[in-house]
């Protein structure tokens, strides 16, 4: 695979940055994650951090070098994060678990799939338009889709932050998973928190990637969102990938070319995520037993989905 990728996150006008982001890739699979800890609940930064760590750790263990079933992986990894947050709640005697939204994207074999819970978004930009976009799990989106308010009214609506589906709530999230989409050369996929999309128009997002690389467009969009939101700007986070296509094994890209996963050795993983060692803060929240249990559940889900396909054929 060949692609360009860049990420950026700023605190904005808040005291703490509760957003988390990161990506990992093997020779044959790329994973991107953005999580937005919910500030209306305690320890939102813990929720987003644990969710990022859980999903990334599972990807490292399961992408060998490619996920057998990306849809099953993403759903079960998000649910494993939910269970981990409730374990954290029990261990720390909290009245409720920390909560977060999350959006995840997997790219392999030239196909992109994504899954999410909440209002952190994914945009697929192709040919100067938005070819696909996630639909927020929020009260305000329901009002917009029902025709009760306009998109413009939604930006300043008093119930804008009311999310009805997230990780860490009393009930497990309903994980919405996309169908696979074949990528075209030049496609851009951006994952971001509401601190970015809530302050900008869709046209601003499209235009940023029309004449700039992702290395320029992502920090520009973050800066534009913070400027538009003013002194009360929310945390603002984005990671974007520009697809350059597949490649032959004997291709040797020049130094200024997009990332080539051929540079990754068999069994290797490249990542921007700093994994926590045992004994570090949060390190004991996700034990090896919990990871192994989550991996087993993913394998069971893959087995179930494979059996359904076999039965239908």
pLDDT band at 60 (very low <50, low <70, confident <90, very high): very high
Mean pLDDT computed over every residue of the chain: 84
- CA–CA dist 87, 257 (Å, integer): 44
User: 21-35, 196-210, 216-230, 258-272: lowest mean pLDDT where?
Assistant: 258-272
- Which of these, 220, 183, 175, lies nearest to 200 by C-alpha position? 220
Residue 68: CA atoms inside 13 Å, Cβ hemisphere, count?
A: 13
- pLDDT tens, 119-161? 999 999 999 999 999 999 875 655 545 544 545 555 554 455 6
- CA–CA dist 282, 83 (Å, integer): 15
- CA–CA dist 86, 89 (Å, integer): 5
- Ordered structural domains, the chain, with CATH: 2-312 (3.60.40.10)
Query: Which of 149 and 102 is assigned the larger pLDDT?
Result: 102
- pLDDT tens, 20-46? 999 999 999 999 999 999 976 678 999
pLDDT band at 260 (very low <50, low <70, confident <90, very high): confident
Does the pLDDT value for residue 289 go beyond 50?
A: yes
- Which of these, 129, 36, 24, 31, lies nearest to 74 by C-alpha position? 31
pLDDT band at 258 (very low <50, low <70, confident <90, very high): confident
What is the pTM for the complete model shown? 0.85
Query: Which of 225 and 284 is assigned the larger pLDDT?
Result: 225
DSSP state of 163: B
């Amino acid at each position: 695979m060949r692609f360009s990728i860049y990420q950026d996150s700023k605190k904005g006008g808040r005291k703490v940055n509760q957003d988390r982001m990161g990506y990992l890739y093997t020779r044959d699979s790329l994973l991107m994650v953005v999580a937005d800890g919910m500030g209306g609940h305690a320890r939102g930064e813990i929720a987003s951090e644990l969710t990022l760590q859980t999903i990334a750790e599972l990807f490292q263990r399961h992408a060998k070098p490619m996920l057998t079933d990306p849809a099953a992986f993403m759903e079960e990894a998000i649910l494993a994060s939910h269970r981990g947050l409730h374990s954290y709640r029990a261990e720390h005697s909290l009245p409720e678990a920390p909560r977060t939204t999350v959006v995840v994207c997997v790219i392999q074999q030239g196909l992109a799939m994504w899954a999410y819970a909440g209002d952190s978004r994914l945009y697929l930009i192709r040919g100067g338009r938005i070819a696909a976009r996630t639909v927020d799990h929020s009260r305000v989106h329901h009002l917009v889709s029902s025709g009760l308010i306009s998109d413009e009214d939604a930006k300043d609506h008093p119930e804008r932050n009311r999310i009805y589906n997230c990780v860490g709530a009393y009930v497990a999230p309903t994980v919405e998973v996309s169908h696979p989409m074949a990528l075209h050369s030049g496609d851009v996929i951006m994952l971001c928190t509401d601190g970015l999309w809530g302050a900008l128009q869709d046209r601003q997002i499209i235009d940023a990637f029309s004449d700039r690389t992702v290395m320029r467009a992502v920090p520009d969009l973050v800066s534009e969102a913070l400027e538009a939101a003013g002194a009360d700007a929310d945390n603002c986070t984005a990671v974007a990938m520009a697809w350059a296509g597949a490649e032959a094994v004997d291709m040797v890209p020049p130094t200024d070319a997009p990332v080539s996963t051929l540079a990754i050795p068999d069994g290797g993983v490249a990542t921007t995520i700093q994994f926590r060692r045992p004994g570090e803060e949060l390190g004991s929240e996700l034990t090896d037993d919990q990871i192994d249990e989550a991996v087993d559940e993913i394998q069971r889900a893959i087995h179930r989905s494979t059996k359904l396909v076999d039965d239908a054929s």
